[in-house]
């Protein structure tokens, strides 16, 4: 409903609704802006449910249309106007990606491969199964190969501000109390290696 049309001026920048919406059409997705600029947003409305006011973010380009954010959000949904988004797509794996199957591509990079938006898009089913309910750490540590387990140290004293973003799962306080493995067994192996060498050093010093 828009019985009185747009409010004359927007708070903050002093521009009219027509000027503001012409420059920032995605502002109509904001409930407050849509209420203040109801007439301008109504004129902009595309008539589609999936993309009523065009792109939901700025900076959209066609190359973003086949990418997925780590939290599972399709960039095509955010860039719905640019990508002609009409609704949810079937989440399945393609046959090949860069001449590899999804299983081969993901196994070669462990879960870290799914942080790549294009891989997550084309290998949707596989990456969805691997996604963790940890915001900012949806696919585990960004570095694999036992690095995180060794750098964090057995008491996690190595989980510094520099290391934690790269080793987000290993350094996650909640994960420390679980019997999980952020790196397909390598994490635990790294700690076993560290324990072994510590024990060996103790024996050598005692003899």
**pLDDT tens-digit map of 11-20:** 566 788 888 8
144 & 119 share domain? no
Closest among 108, 127, 109, 107 to 117, alpha carbons compared: 127
95 & 84 share domain? no
84 & 101 share domain? no
Q: Give the tokens for residue 1.
A: 């409903």
116 & 80 share domain? no
124 & 157 share domain? no
**pLDDT greater than 70 at residue 32:** yes
Are 24 and 59 in contact by the 8 Å Cβ rule? The answer is no
123 & 109 share domain? yes
* Full domain range(s) for residue 149: 134-176
**Lowest-confidence segment of 46-60, 104-118, 174-188 by average pLDDT:** 174-188
pTM (predicted TM-score): 0.70
User: Could you tell me if residue 184 is inside a domain?
Assistant: no
Closest among 27, 168, 58 to 10, alpha carbons compared: 27
Classify the phi-psi angles of 166: left when phi > 0, otherwise alpha if psi is within -120 to 50, otherwise beta. Answer: alpha
pLDDT of residue 111: 61
User: Could you tell me if residue 103 is inside a domain?
Assistant: yes
Of 28, 62, 89, at which residue does a domain stop? 89
User: Could you tell me if residue 29 is inside a domain?
Assistant: yes
36 & 1 share domain? yes
User: Could you tell me if residue 185 is inside a domain?
Assistant: no
2 & 39 share domain? yes
Of 89, 110, 145, at which residue does a domain stop? 89
User: Could you tell me if residue 202 is inside a domain?
Assistant: no
Of 131, 159, 186, at which residue does a domain stop? 131
Domain count, the chain: 4
pLDDT of residue 151: 83
122 & 138 share domain? no
153 & 172 share domain? yes
User: Could you tell me if residue 81 is inside a domain?
Assistant: yes
119 & 152 share domain? no
Structure-model confidence comparison of residues 180 and 6, the more confident one: 6
Q: Give the tokens for residue 113.
A: 């491969």
User: Could you tell me if residue 117 is inside a domain?
Assistant: yes
Are 75 and 105 in contact by the 8 Å Cβ rule? The answer is no
User: Could you tell me if residue 159 is inside a domain?
Assistant: yes
pLDDT of residue 194: 42
pLDDT of residue 84: 94
């Amino acid at each position: 409903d828009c019985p009185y049309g747009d409010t004359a001026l927007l708070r903050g920048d002093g521009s009219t609704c027509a000027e503001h919406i012409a420059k920032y059409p995605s502002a109509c997705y904001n409930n407050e802006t849509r209420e203040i600029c109801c007439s301008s947003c109504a004129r902009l409305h595309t008539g589609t449910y999936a993309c009523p006011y065009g792109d939901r973010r700025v900076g959209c380009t066609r190359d973003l249309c086949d990418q997925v954010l780590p939290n599972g959000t399709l960039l095509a949904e955010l860039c719905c106007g640019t990508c002609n988004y009409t609704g949810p797509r079937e989440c399945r794996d393609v046959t090949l990606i860069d001449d590899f199957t999804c299983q081969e591509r993901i196994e070669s990079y462990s879960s870290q491969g799914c942080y790549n938006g294009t891989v997550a898009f084309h290998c949707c089913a596989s990456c969805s199964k691997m996604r963790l309910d940890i915001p900012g750490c949806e696919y585990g540590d960004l570095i694999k190969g036992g690095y995180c387990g060794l750098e964090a140290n057995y008491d996690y004293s190595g989980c510094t501000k520099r290391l934690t973003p790269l080793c987000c799962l290993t350094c996650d306080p909640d994960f420390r109390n679980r019997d999980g493995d952020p790196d397909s067994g390598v994490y635990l192996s790294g700690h076993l290696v560290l324990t072994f060498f510590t024990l060996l050093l103790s024996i050598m010093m005692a003899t």
